[in-house]
Homo-oligomer: A and B are copies of this chain.
């Protein structure tokens, strides 16, 4: 009995959208895809399921655990439901399009996760994003960052802050340090939790130069507003070229972003989330009422490698379901009721309904002896026979 009573309950983290929210989502989706189009990003629709070895090529173990597995009854091979669209788009760039030029692609589609995500507890995101392939310079990162800002603006999100980092800094220091793998992992873990005592402990067991030790110890303190960059340039002045390039990238970003964004910026040079995946500038957008990043992006240059073509790549993505909560502007709707005809010209009425609908007006036709009147059907107007013509009159 209890199973039947609960039959309609949805699994945890799985949501459905009823009329008004569904329409809001659809409108947001259109506005964002139109934005990406006018910036020259071409739409692609990667498939919902793929063979598992294709879907997980070049991605990490996290994604494997998050991926629902299915058996292909035709071949017996394992398939997966996509848990992330980005690797699919990288595959399309590397294998299907095979262009030499910079390639701009965008997408919007459902991804499923086996377990709910930390903050939102969702297992089904409407992942939407834009990717720029084939250009290694910071100008591509700047374009993607600007498009992310436009995404926030169009999504009605003003009260945001931006976290920005660059994995090239830690990567450059590790190139110099040449630590044994195990020690590097310990240092990485200590940095991830930003524990200065753990960091010092790991470093004290190494034979690194004092210069390098000092830089690594200071890394966790290199976070704050945009002024921290000048401080970082001093602290890291003796680091190698990889580090210097990363600092130059950050400087370029600061010089070229709008000043209202600089005010919302939090730099964090020890930020290493997605370190196994990212290769350069990384950034994320937050709002106070949402604990996790609403939108995130960055450079990930090697992702096409698994498909035989390592192209430079930078992009961002967001979950439209999460952005939906910010679409709080009132919905203005006009619904015109066409009563069953009692007087007036029926041919003219049919013509008037056709005309109104072709102009984008919603017209609902009464069904004979139906339950509910125009108000019950949420109509705001009705068609009335006046002066030998059908007029739209408020209810």
A residues whose Cβ falls under 8 Å from a Cβ of B: 3, 7-12, 14-19, 22-23, 25-26, 30, 33-34, 37-40, 42-51, 53-54, 57, 68, 70, 72-75, 77, 79, 81, 88, 91-92, 95-97, 99-102, 104-105, 110, 112, 114-116, 124, 134-135, 137, 139-140, 143, 306-307, 335, 356-357, 360-365, 367-372, 376-377
CB distance B376 to A74 under 8 Å?
no
Q: A31 to B288, alpha carbons, bound, how many Å?
A: 37
Q: Are A45 and B22 in contact (CB under 8 A)?
A: yes
Find out whether the CB atom of A15 lies under 8 angstroms from the CB atom of B47.
yes
Q: Which residues of B contact A38 (CB under 8 A)?
A: 356-357, 360-363
In contact, B11 and A50 (Cβ under 8 angstroms): yes
- Contact between chains at B47 and A16 (CB < 8 Å): yes
Question: Is the Cβ of B101 less than 8 Å from the Cβ of A376?
Answer: yes
CA gap between A135 and B30 in the complex, in Å: 33
Further pairs besides A99-B372, A104-B364, A139-B367: 6, Cβ < 8 Å: A8-B95, A14-B50, A39-B362, A48-B112, A74-B115, A135-B367
Q: How far is the CA of A135 from the CA of B135 in the complex (A)?
A: 58
CB of A73 within 8 A of CB of B115, answer yes
Assess whether A47 is in contact with B140, with CB atoms less than 8 Å apart.
no
Check B47–A368 contact: CB distance below 8 A.
no
Also in contact, A19 and B7, with CB within 8 A (given A70-B70, A101-B372, A143-B367):
no
Q: Is the CB of B40 within 8 A of A335?
A: yes
Select from chain B the residue with minimum beta-carbon distance to A34.
Answer: B360
Q: Is there contact, CB below 8 Å, between A139 and B368?
A: yes
A44 is contacted by which of B3, B8, B17 (Cβ under 8 Å)? B17
Residues of B within 8 A of A9 (CB): 51, 54
| A364 to B100 alpha-carbon distance, docked (Å) | 16
Asked if B102 contacts A372 (CB within 8 A), the reply is yes
**Residues B306 and A7 in contact, CB atoms below 8 Å apart:** yes
* Interchain CA distance A22-B15 in the complex, whole Å: 26
- In the bound assembly, the distance between CA atoms of A360 and B191 in angstroms comes to 46
Contact residues in B for A357 (Cβ distance below 8 Å): 38-39
With contacts A23-B42, A306-B7 taken as known, whether A47 is within 8 angstroms of B14 at the C-beta atoms is: yes
- Name the residue on B nearest A107 (C-beta): B22
CB-based contact A44/B18 at 8 Å: yes
Q: Given the complex, which residues of B lie within 8 Å of A97, measured CB to CB? A: 18-19
Q: Name the residue in A10, A45, A48, A70 with the highest tally of chain B Cβ atoms < 10 Å from its Cβ.
A: A45
A127 to chain B, nearest CB (A): 12
Q: Are B370 and A10 neighbours in the complex by a CB distance under 8 Å? A: no
**Given A357-B39, A367-B140, are A48 and B110 neighbors across the interface (CB < 8 Å)?**
yes
Residues of B contacting A364 with CB < 8 Å? 39-40, 104
Cα-based distance from A278 to B7 in the complex (angstroms)? 23
